[in-house]
Amino acid sequence: MVLIILVYGAMLLLSLFQIRKSYQLDDYEPYEDLLHSEETKPVSILVPAYNESVGINSSIRSLLSIEYPEYEIIIINDGSKDDTLEKLIEKFKCQKINRVIRKQIVTKQVKAVYRSTIYTNLVVIDKENGGKADALNAGINCSSYPYFCSLDGDSIIERSAFLKVLKPIIESDDEVIASGGSIRIANGCKIENGEIVETGLSKKPLVIMQVVEYLRAFLTGRVGLSHNNLLLIVSGAFGVFSKKWVVEAGGYAHTVGEDMELVVRLHRLIKEKKVNKKIVYVPDPVCWTEAPESIKFLRRQRKRWHRGLFDSLWKHRKLMFNPKYGSIGLVSMPYFFFIEFLGPLIELIGYILLGVSVITGSIYIEYAIIFFLLSLIYGSIYSMASVLLEEWSMERYTKVRHFVALFFVSLTETLWYRPMTVLWRVEGMVEMLFGKKGWGEMVRKGVSND
């Protein structure tokens, strides 16, 4: 408990100063200048879509309205069983074209390529089903520009998000090879024509708790890790990568956690080539996505995430405690293994031992209560600090009632949400031991109001 408090406390303080520093600078550095800069790099936006019929049109509309000088949108229909492809062809007046695809990464067969007659920078790839990683690799092969962005098919992007997430890449003279933005939950928001017109909160405590969880993960965890080039995760829902480096690394791997695995592999490649490259997180650019509203699908998601975490760590176990890989091997890999991966198992064992001790009478109740209250207070403080950090710097949730809801729901996390997610993550570990593969079905309700 002392170790976790110290680690998370240090990350919180570092994030606090870093975000506030960036926020103050951004007030004096208008991103609009990047729209007319010759240094602004064109980008290919890759959107893998498998059975995304419900939300894909809103996502594309949000991409067509972004503020960025030169970009292309490549939708990869990965053998959808619903009418995703038909909707795309009809809505955006797509016609089949002959496009040469440079096969730098091996993928499943591409059956056809379409281009919109309304928006010339919109391309749709129809391919055999091969999974998300295979779809992204096909998009990389088809892309025209030196940088690409991976987005989920149900994402809603803010208009200025690409200028913000690409700013470190533009200003670094190719030193930054990957950059990730923040993910926020769109459930409860008002969306029109593929754009967030009013930020809101779902009325369901399960979704509100996920909002707090996302704020904590992005605004405290990733800012602290990114500051020292220790970041091992760039979210697959919103990340920009140098195509040259990704192709050299072999593209996305066919694993449950393909986004994290790619970042770890890029770090490994950087260290082995002995070059000074960075992978960063930028807190301000935001991509809004749909969160699970039922326990069934949230449980499935968290089990999959934990299996993906282990896949990445195990595949690159050579890095663990290896001084050859610098701080990645000595700090990042141990942190993600002992704190993020093994943490839930240790916590669950603690719950079980506590229950057994109470039954057998072999526990000092006074000390147990003190430790419980300490855990409750610390967890609540850490969660609320993330909410306060959001309000202090980003100010996405402007209504007082939203802030109050986030505050009081976060106070209850230790009582119900955390034990629940701990159990699910341990279930993910069990599934991993039995060799379970794949994503599992995730049903989209759709968050668009149009």
> For 277, which DSSP code?
-
pLDDT at 426: 96
Residue with tokens 């405590």: 205
For residue 100, the tally of other CB atoms under 10 A from its CB is 6
49 in Cβ contact with 80 (< 8 Å): yes
One of 3.10.20.340, 3.90.550.10, 3.40.50.2020, 3.30.479.30 is the CATH number of 2-340, namely: 3.90.550.10
Compute the distance between CA of residue 4 and CA of residue 40 in angstroms, rounded to an integer.
41
Convert the pLDDT of each residue in 354-395 to its tens digit: 888 888 888 888 887 887 777 777 777 777 777 777 766 666
Give me 317's structure tokens: 């176990």
Tokens 């309700």 found at: 445
| pLDDT over threshold 90, residue 250 | yes
pTM strictly above 0.75: yes
Report whether pLDDT(178) > 70. yes
Q: Rounded to a whole number, what is the largest CA-CA distance in the chain?
A: 75
Cα 437 to chain centroid distance, Å, stands at 20
**pLDDT at residue 156 in the model:** 85
Any residues with CB less than 8 A from the CB of 433 and at least 6 apart, and which? none
- What's the whole-number mean pLDDT along residues 164-177? 89
- What would the pLDDT profile of 193-232 be if each residue is shown by its tens digit? 778 888 889 999 999 999 988 888 877 778 778 878 889 9
pLDDT at residue 139 is higher than 80: yes
The C-alpha angle with vertex 147 and arms to 178 and 65, in degrees rounded to 5, equals: 105
β-pair type (43-49, 71-78) = parallel
Task: Read off the pLDDT band of 430 (50, 70, 90).
Answer: very high
Pick the range with the lowest mean pLDDT from 65-69, 93-97, 99-103, 384-388: 384-388
Residue 69: name the closest of 39, 101, 106 by CA: 39
Q: Counting beta carbons within 10 angstroms of the beta carbon of residue 45, is it exposed (0 to 12), middle (13 to 18) or buried (19 or more)? A: buried
